[in-house]
Amino acid sequence: MSPSRSAQRNVRDVVFVDGVRTPFGKAGEKGIYAGTRADDLVVKCIRELMRRNPSLPADRIDEVAIAATTQTGDQGLTIGRTAALLAGLPRTVPGFAIDRMCAGAMTAVTTTASGIGFGAYDVVIAGGVEHMGNHPMGSGADPNPRFMSERLVDPAALNMGNTAENLHDRFPAITKDRTDAYAAASQAKLAAAYSSEQIQHDLVPVATMKPGQGWALHTTDEPPRPGTTVADLAELRTPFRAHGRVTAGNAAGLNDGATAAVLASAEAAEELGLSVKMRLVSYAFAGVEPEVMGIGPVPATEKALKNAGLAIEDIGLFEINEAFAVQVLSFLDHFGIADDDPRVNRYGGAIAVGHPLASSGVRLMNQLARQFEEDPSVRYGITTMCIGLGMGATVIWENPHHPDYASSTADTAITATTEGAAA
């Protein structure tokens, strides 16, 4: 192939077809997934995606990318490949594992989406899993001694709770009262979403068995505490610092769970009769000081907006991972968004529902896709999260139900073809 012909490759539109997740559980011996394997949770998600999308032939899946932060034991052995085999996909379907800590599933989506845009894939499955009961955060890790001896990072940077306290120090206007109020609102919004059946549609029922207890079927999340009040949260201890501000009530817990999503090129989705819930507009990752890793979504969002030619005012919905309330509020303050802005986490967030590290990115996407369907007046939304060791990730999506969606995708196709021909 001549260089001139190779240069004519067009960038293709990438669409989010469908996403599911298991109910999230509490990590530990009393949690619903104690004794359950992490890879089995992923398999449940993959099988459910195939069941929900019967027009998608299994042999049309070009890649399976599954993220896990701790890639050992039942989360090891190239989990994207092993989960594909265990789920019954054809042996011709490849798979790989990926790690970007909390943004694992989000990176699985953006990495495979890039392959779709380039033309290497037509249809992929991307997701993540974290069984923090089987694999406590940092278990088995061996940080290089240079981090300490050369003071590359403050020791506090290796503990996420400490980084949240550091963020409070940097932004004294974000008080404990504000974070507790935000956390109570997250619990209330999730309870309302459950009551309106806005969560259940994307949950995969999971049957588990515990010795002496028998089988149980789990269809709802375990972590939520509906009815939580600011007064309740004010009584909680601050484990990361004496007289601190971060508590178990205004931070996400330790959780188990898995997610998975189908993405495709717009052409493949049309050919196979697959739904289009969102179109990927742009994405970005950014590095920040590890000691205040929670600020990561700010520069990541600024980069993603610049790449898309958009401004923060163009964003009609925000799905922000609530690792810590202070982290969300630092993002809102930076962009001049009120703590109770109705565009932000309409169904509540990780403070209420849980945050099984590498799996959470697709949960954000599921919730944004559902809100797009409910509110066609919104054209653009974002999914964003902070990442341990000092990073942030943001993905901007377009709502296919918005009246301007069809014309925008046509313009994109024309632009890509013109640029390819010019090259």
> Which residues are the active-site residues?
102, 355, 386
Go through 400-421 and write b for each residue having 16 or more CB atoms within 10 A of its CB, e for each that does not.
Answer: bbbeebeebbeebbeebeeeee
Residue 261 near residue 126, CB atoms below 8 Å: yes
Using CA atoms, how far apart are residues 188 and 294, in angstroms rounded to an integer?
23
Count of C-beta atoms within a 10 Å radius of residue 308: 18
Residue 168 near residue 326, CB atoms below 8 Å: yes
End-to-end alpha carbon distance in the chain: 15
Residue 295 near residue 288, CB atoms below 8 Å: yes
Residue 236 near residue 247, CB atoms below 8 Å: yes
Can you spell out the DSSP letters for 233-261? HHTS--TTSTT-S--SSSB---EEEEEEE
Q: What is the dihedral of CA 236, 237, 238, 241, to 10 degrees?
A: 160
Residue 218, strand partner residues: 206
Give one word for 336, left, alpha or beta, with left for phi > 0 and alpha for psi -120 to 50: left
Q: What are the Cα distances from residue 119, in Å, to 122, 236, 281? A: 7, 52, 17
Sequence-distant (6+) residues with CB within 8 A of 35 are 208, 209, 210, 211
Helix, strand, coil percentages (3-state) for the chain, rounded to 5, are: 40, 20, 40
Instruction: Give strand ranges (E) for 180-314.
Output: 206-210, 214-218, 255-265, 278-287
- The length of the chain is 423
Residue 257, strand partner residues: 130
Pairing of strands 63-67, 123-131: parallel
